[in-house]
A and B are shown apart, each in its own frame.
Chain A
Amino acid sequence: MEIQILYNVFHHEAVSILIAIYFHIVGLHAGCSIVSITATLLGKTEYKPVAKIGAIFVIILFSISPIFLLADLFQPLRFWYLFLHFNPTSPLSWGTFFLCTYPTFTGIYIYFLFKNNVKWSKIFGVISLPFAISVHGYTGFVLGFAKARVLWNTAVMPSYFLCSAMISGMAFMLVVAIVRYYFTYKEKPQEEREKDLHIIDLLAKWMAGFMILNIFYVFSELTVMYYHTEDAYETVELVRLGKFSFLYIWVDNIFGNVVPSIIIIFRKTRKSLLLLLIAAILASIGVFVMRYVMVFGGQYVPLS
């Protein structure tokens, strides 16, 4: 028996590319600030450059990220209604709260970091760490609470988003650290060069760790979906074999997670800065593609 749809209405996609870009940028600055705060809390003097690089990029990236949110609203001049009417069941309301508190505490933390005030920068680092986690964590809940779309409505989504945020933040900082080393190593004595290389090595190792965790999340998400409803089966086939398979499986997971983590795991390849730079760029591209596939792949399966 054959079935043919003669007439149906599809309203166009609800979540646009601006939101995918916003997810990526908010993940970048949350990842940067988590790395920066962790480096400060560990308290070793050689980690200080990492903390400062991270802090500078938090300021730059945070100041551009809400523009994408505002541009996506159909009534951008009404954005202040979000502060007036708080809805505790809506993750967008949580996000409004986090997007206001996070820059306040992180700003104070960055001020004390650049004033070289170790004690107070540690105190405000501890305070702003949960806000840095939640400012990206809420975006996972935004997708997770949209119960119509099976690709989004999974319990693994918030932690998967946080994990990829850490990868993108670390990849970004790795690129900056390698470029910084390339331009400054001639003027530095041998000891400081080794310190810089040690930091690059440490960042790369942590990035590989998060990549392996990310691969585990992807594996559990895809396999659990095969044991779920008809919509889930259709969606998982779409991202595994269908329209989004090249982007999701190859660009995001093979070239964005597996290849960079293999480069980092082997000692010989990890020592090559060029290969590390390529690995970091591949990881950044992979994370952006993951946001794109999550936003558009989730909305690709029809609801009516």
Chain B
Amino acid sequence: MKKEVRWGMVIDLRRCVGCHACQVACKAEHEVPLGVWRIWVKVVQKGTYPEMATLNLPWDCPYCERPEESRYPRMQTLFLPWLCNQCERPICNTVCPVKAAYKREDGIVLIDPHRCIGCNYCRAACPYNVRYANPITGMLEKCDFCAHRVDVGLSPACVEACPTNAMTFGNLKDPSSKISQLLSKEKVQVLKQMMATFPQVYYIGLDMDVADPLKGWEGGILPKRLKELLR
């Protein structure tokens, strides 16, 4: 009997220390050119800054009287490894005009390099911004869970490189695998659930401020509005 396989990944953000080892390992494994990335660790700092204490707030701010309290313990740095989510319903497959993007039976979304015409439509449609055009070959590429390593029984390069074992890779359909146990006992989240792509990369301890691309964005109007409102 053929064993059913659906590869997935769980990233425990409580363990992530932001060392970027996954990013470097991926670059080395896939020879990713300069300027583009298959996986990267988004780093966001949030908290009450010392500058905030000097503002004249219209209400009584507990931190204004004691500005020293607005420093270390009241802020934190958040890390988020961002990679292809190997969606169950991938929009990149749907819109590819030559069927170069396809999903394998084990759930890994791949791109056929012999068929891709480089029209960039999948890149425009992907809600996770994980696809890039290889500047050397002109082909569209993205994270493929290291399909060549998975096929011979190894785990992806980023998972191997992670020093704190924050990343867990495994078969979601096997109830005894470590990933299934993590999913059943921990509180997990996915990125951009409202896009109805059903991502198969799960995060434990995901913070809304690091998951939301608009939070802290310099060009945004909404963050500025909120800041003005808070003043």
Contacts from A to B (Cβ < 8 Å): 1-11, 14-16, 72-75, 78-79, 81-82, 84-85, 87, 89-93, 95-96, 142, 145-149, 229-231, 233-234, 237-238, 241-243, 299-304
Contacts and interface: CB of A to CB of B under 8 A. Distances in A.
29 contacts: A1-B47, A3-B44, A4-B216, A5-B43, A7-B41, A7-B42, A9-B40, A9-B42, A11-B36, A73-B117, A73-B119, A74-B118, A74-B140, A78-B115, A81-B117, A84-B98, A87-B99, A93-B98, A95-B97, A96-B97, A148-B126, A148-B129, A230-B212, A234-B222, A241-B221, A242-B219, A301-B213, A303-B127, A304-B129
Contact of A234 (B100, B209, B220): B220
Contacts of A10: 129
A82 B98 CA distance: 6
Q: Rank and list the top 6 A-B pairs by shortest CB-CB distance, nearest first.
A: A74-B118, A74-B138, A92-B97, A303-B129, A14-B123, A14-B124
A148 B124 contact: yes
Contacts of A301: 213-214, 217, 220
Chain B interface size band reads: 35 or more
B97 A2 contact: no
Nearest to B213: A302
Contacts of A7: 40-43
A146 B129 CA distance: 12
Interface in B80-138: 82, 91, 94-100, 115-121, 123-133, 138
Of the candidates B98, B120, B132, B212, the one having the most CB atoms from chain A within 10 angstroms of its own CB is B98
B195 interface: yes
A222 to B, nearest CB: 14
A15 B217 contact: no
Contacts of A238: 219, 221
A85 B99 contact: yes
Among B44, B95, B96, max chain A CB count under 10 A is at B95
A90 B100 CA distance: 12
Most A C-beta atoms less than 10 A away, residue of B124, B139, B220:
B124
Contacts of A74: 117-120, 133, 138-140
Contacts of A148: 91, 124-129, 195
Contacts of A75: 116-118, 138-139
A6 B77 contact: yes
A72 B117 CA distance: 10
B214 A231 contact: yes
B22 to A, nearest CB: 13
B15 interface: no
B221 A237 contact: yes
B124 to A, nearest CB: 4
Contacts, number: 170
A87 B124 contact: no
Contact of A82 (B42, B117, B120): B117
A148 B128 CA distance: 8
Given A11-B36, A147-B195, A149-B124, A85 B98 contact: yes
B46 A3 contact: yes
B229 interface: no
Interface of B: 36-37, 40-49, 52, 77, 82, 91, 94-100, 115-121, 123-133, 138-140, 194-195, 209, 212-217, 219-223, 227
Nearest to B222: A234
Interface centre among B41, B115, B216, B221 (most CB of A within 10 A): B221
Contacts of A233: 222
Given A73-B119, A301-B214, A82 B97 contact: yes
B97 A87 contact: yes
Contact of B47 (A2, A93, A145, A231): A2
A285 B127 CA distance: 31
Nearest to B36: A11
Nearest to A96: B97
Nearest to B142: A11
B221 to A, nearest CB: 4
A142 B82 CA distance: 27
B209 A3 contact: yes
A89 to B, nearest CB: 5
A234 B133 contact: no
Contact of B94 (A5, A82, A89, A300): A89
A90 B97 contact: yes
Contacts of B47: 1-2
